A and B are shown apart, each in its own frame.
Chain A
Amino acid sequence: MTAYPDDRRYTKSHEWIRVDGGVATVGISDHAQKELGEVVFVDLPEVGEIFNAQEEFGTIESVKAVSELFLPVAGEIVEVNKVLADEPAAVNEDPHGDGWLVKIKVSSDVEVDELMNAVDYEKFIEEEARKA
């Protein structure tokens, strides 16, 4: 099992967020990409769009399903991962690195701290698997 990096926080809808100064990078977790299967398309927002915490900011389409993407915290989109337009499989290959989705300008760090850390997130996945 992949170790979840502890330089970031995780959500119950399986996104991750890593803050670096005033800008945070958002992606989906290794667990999420495994559940989705082969990703074939990622629909991302425009730079400049503003979203609330937990608001849908895009969709991710795999061979199995289309799922919504939710922003872990409120913020303004400052960059989207353009590589994904031609290589959506990057989300499968490197979900915690090159397969990132968007970068946002975060309004407050407090919101990020309230999310799960790597240890809590791994426990959360285990619990979900037990319930299923």
Chain B
Amino acid sequence: MRYIPHSPEEQAALLSAVGVRSVDELFATVPKEVLLREPPDLPPPASEIEVRRAMGEMASRNANLSEWTSLLGGGLYAHHTPAFVPQLLSRGEFLTAYTPYQPEVSQGTLTAIWEFQSHVAILTEMDVANASMYEGASAFVEAVLMAERLTKKRSKVVVSKGIHPEYRRCLRTYLANFPFTIVEVPVGEGGATDAAALAKAVDDTTFAVAVQSPNVLGVVESWRTAADAAHANGALAVGVVNEMFSLALLKGPGAEGIDIAAGEAASFGVPPSFGGPLVGFLACRDAMKRQIPGRLVGRTTDANGKTAFCLTLSTREQHIRREKATSNICTNQGLFALAATMTISILGKQGLRETALQCLSKAEYLKAGVRAIPGPFSVAFSGRTFNEFAIRCGPAVEEVLHRCEEKKILGGIPMKRLAPGEAGWDDLLLVAVTERTPRAGLDGFLDVLRSF
């Protein structure tokens, strides 16, 4: 579907049809005090040439990821987006279509959503995935709420502190007015969730046990440990993933006992930008599909026996059964789900694996480099990692980052900014690599560490 703006003639025809003379008259009921009294404080109009020059100058002050080396991760990873992805996304049929779910006009979009669902289900090794969520944090919360609906009459959710702190904050916001308790379990010495503390925190009032892998410290968790702790008490296990490339090498949460997987799929074709917009996902076991939030596209056959796609199971959704709806989510992140689908499709099984191996190898190279430095830096945790790990710093983390910036390196995320006040994390620097990170940048970062 295309978005077609109206001409002045059409505007006049529309206004006369409703019986008003001007657009101002149409909006006469808008209170005067909320209207803009004078134009915003902007420079005077300029020519296209002048505007381009001014904007170019402003843009050059950004730390551009094509020139700088970025070790920023923490839930968002700057992977390569193949050039054809933004090119195709910019087509009007995709870019300006709103709620493109009508099967009679949107077979292309519905097919792409169905493919997205299939990719997510395959990667997570779950039975069913939905049409996507807005981003990882709310997808995680929806997974927890789903577990509550499925278990009934239970009141506690046990959450690993290895889950991204912003995801956990989002959970607290959502649950603030529910009669539920959130119990947070610390990570152990190896950097993974403390298994004994987790098992101890779960009881027969628990509806969900949630862990993230790789976790916020980059450490790969055991899905099985969390699933066993949950199932031993009749609870469900929620698995969070926010670096989807890890699933090209690691077992999917569905293969290791997790009941509901949720998280961030932006690693596939969506740039980190300024922290968003992003694209979340949610997948679960077949028996739970009626409690999935949001949209679900199904494959069927039309009246002529041809393959066709349409929304399915929509009777449980908000637009039909508002007071009993499974959640408030009644749309999806269509454009970025499409970007993810395109990226996964062009990489293919082999490409996903090769990309993931590059990420892993570069991270191990950097890790070995840190370990080889005799100075005041160490790899903080012994647990297995994928493309991200934490460095314990003797010198102030800010000083390390400052020296990196002088060499056009964004040297990582201070854990005290990501998780303020978390005991033992204040001197940690979280570094991540992707297939885009150049070796020269990694060596430059190690040179900075050696300079202390």
A20 to B290, CA, bound (A): 34
Would you list which residues of chain A between 35 and 92 have a CB under 8 Å from chain B? 41, 43, 59, 61-66, 68
Q: Does B407 contact A (CB under 8 A)?
A: no
Q: Is B6 an interface residue (CB 8 A)?
A: no
> Smallest CB-CB separation from A65: which chain B residue?
B315
Question: Do A65 and B321 touch (CB < 8 A)?
Answer: yes
**Smallest distance from the beta carbon of B42 to chain A beta carbons, Å?**
52
Residue B316 is within 8 A (CB to CB) of chain A in the complex: yes
CB distance from B324 to the nearest CB of A (A): 7
**Complex-state Cα separation, A43 to B289, whole angstroms:** 12
A3 to chain B, nearest CB (A): 31
Q: Which B residues are CB-close (under 8 A) to A41?
A: 290
CA distance A59 to B152 in the complex (A): 14
Give min CB distance, A40 to chain B, whole Å.
8
Residues on the B chain within 8 Å of A43, using CB:
290
Q: Mark A106-130, 1 if CB is under 8 A from B, else 0.
A: 0000000000000000000000000
| Contacts between the two chains (Cβ within 8 Å), count | 18
Which residue of B is nearest A61, CB measured? B315
Q: B316–A65 contact, CB under 8 A?
A: no
Please give, as numbers and ranges, the residues of chain A lying within 8 Å of B324 by CB-CB distance: 59, 66, 68
Q: How many residues of A contact B (CB 8 A)?
A: 10
Pick the contact of B320: A59, A65, A68 (CB < 8 A): A65
- Cα A53 to Cα B88 in complex, Å, equals 58
Asked whether, in the complex, the Cβ of A61 is within 8 Å of the Cβ of B316, the reply is yes
Contact of B321 among A62, A63, A66 (CB under 8 A): A66
Q: In the assembly, what is the distance between CA of A77 and CA of B290, in Å?
A: 22
Nearest A-chain residue to B320, judged by Cβ: A65
Cα A61 to Cα B289 with chains together (Å):
13
Give complex CA distance A53, B316 in Å: 25
Chain B nearest Cβ from A51, distance in angstroms: 12
List residues 302-343 of chain B with CB under 8 A from any CB of chain A. 315-316, 320-321, 324
Q: How far is the CA of A65 from the CA of B320 in the complex (A)?
A: 8
**What is the CA–CA distance of A37 and B339 in the complex, to the nearest angstrom?**
39
CA distance A63 to B313 in the complex (A): 9
Q: In whole angstroms, what is the CA distance A64 to B321 when docked?
A: 11
State in angstroms the CA–CA spacing of A61 and B315 once bound together.
7
Distance (whole angstroms) from the CB of A82 to the closest CB of chain B: 14
A65 to B325, CA, bound (A): 12
Tell me which of B315, B316, B324 has the highest count of chain A C-beta atoms within 10 A of its own C-beta. Answer: B315
Q: In the complex the two chains form, what is the Cα distance from A41 to B316 in whole Å?
A: 11
Bound state CA distance, A66 and B320, in angstroms?
Answer: 9
B362 to chain A, nearest CB (A): 48
Q: How far is the CB of B108 from chain A (nearest CB, A)?
A: 25
Q: What residue of chain B has the Cβ atom nearest to residue A59's Cβ?
A: B324
Across the interface, name the chain B residue whose C-beta is closest to A45: B152
In angstroms, Cα B122 to Cα A35, docked, is 39
Which residue of chain A has the shortest Cβ distance to B324 in the bound complex? A66
Q: For the complex, give the distance between the alpha carbons of A68 and B315 in Å.
A: 13
User: Chain B, 290-303, contact with A by CB distance < 8 Å: what is the 0/1 string?
Assistant: 10000000000000
Q: How far is the CA of A61 from the CA of B290 in the complex (A)?
A: 10
Which chain A residue has the least Cβ–Cβ distance from B317? Answer: A66
Residues in B neighbouring A68, C-beta threshold 8 A = 324
Residue of A nearest to B287 (CB): A85
Cβ contacts A14-49/B at 8 Å (1 or 0 each): 000000000000000000000000000101000000
A68 to B320, CA, bound (A): 14
Q: Is the CB of B315 within 8 A of A64?
A: yes
Kindly list chain B residues whose C-beta atoms are within 8 Å of the C-beta of A64: 315
A68 to B290, CA, bound (A): 15
Q: How far is the CB of B286 from chain A (nearest CB, A)?
A: 12
Q: What 1/0 mask marks residues of chain B from 230 to 248 whose CB sits below 8 Å from any chain A CB?
A: 0000000000000000000
The residues of A that contact B290 with a CB separation of less than 8 Å are: 41, 43, 61
CB-defined A-B contacts under 8 Å, sample of 18 = A41-B290, A43-B290, A59-B324, A61-B290, A61-B315, A61-B316, A62-B315, A63-B315, A64-B315, A65-B315, A65-B320, A65-B321, A66-B315, A66-B316, A66-B320, A66-B321, A66-B324, A68-B324
Binding site for A on B (CB under 8 A): 290, 315-316, 320-321, 324
**Lowest 10 CB-CB distances: which A-B pairs, in order?**
A66-B315, A66-B321, A61-B315, A65-B315, A66-B316, A41-B290, A65-B320, A66-B324, A43-B290, A65-B321
Extra pairs beyond A62-B315, A63-B315, A66-B324 (15, CB < 8 Å)? A41-B290, A43-B290, A59-B324, A61-B290, A61-B315, A61-B316, A64-B315, A65-B315, A65-B320, A65-B321, A66-B315, A66-B316, A66-B320, A66-B321, A68-B324
Chain A residues packing against B (C-beta within 8 Å) = 41, 43, 59, 61-66, 68
